[in-house]
Structure 1
Amino acid sequence: MLEYMKRLVNRKDEKGASAVEYGLLVAAIAAVIVVAVFALGGFVKGTFENTCTGITTEATTAGGAANVGDC
């Protein structure tokens, strides 16, 4: 029985280590996504604003309604 207890105490269990590694991997991926959103956010916003302006300009130039609404 004493031998069994020694083996139980000295057993190397790496399940916790792999869970920590997966947690670090998920955190790194989340950080990359956050950086990408902040880096590309202004570009995407500008593209949508330019598209909205173009649609509004074309609608009023083509004789459409004066009030085309907000994009």
Structure 2
Amino acid sequence: MWRVWYLKHRVRETLENKDGVGVVEIILILVVLISLVVIFKSQLTSLVETIFEKITSESSGI
């Protein structure tokens, strides 16, 4: 019986926990990700095109 109470208590604590990732941290992560995409745009475009070409060429053999 005490295990059920303990589990309910832990779930309630977890749901009521106000500590978390703040807006500033989320914005910083987004800025870094967008910067990486802008910096490596041509390499990413080339990589995606190569992957899709390989998928297209190998799917025609199925």
Q: Per the shorter chain, which TM-score range? A: 0.3 to 0.5
Structure-1-length-normalised TM-score:
0.38
Higher relative contact order (CA 8 A, sep 6+): 1
Structure-2-length-normalised TM-score:
0.42
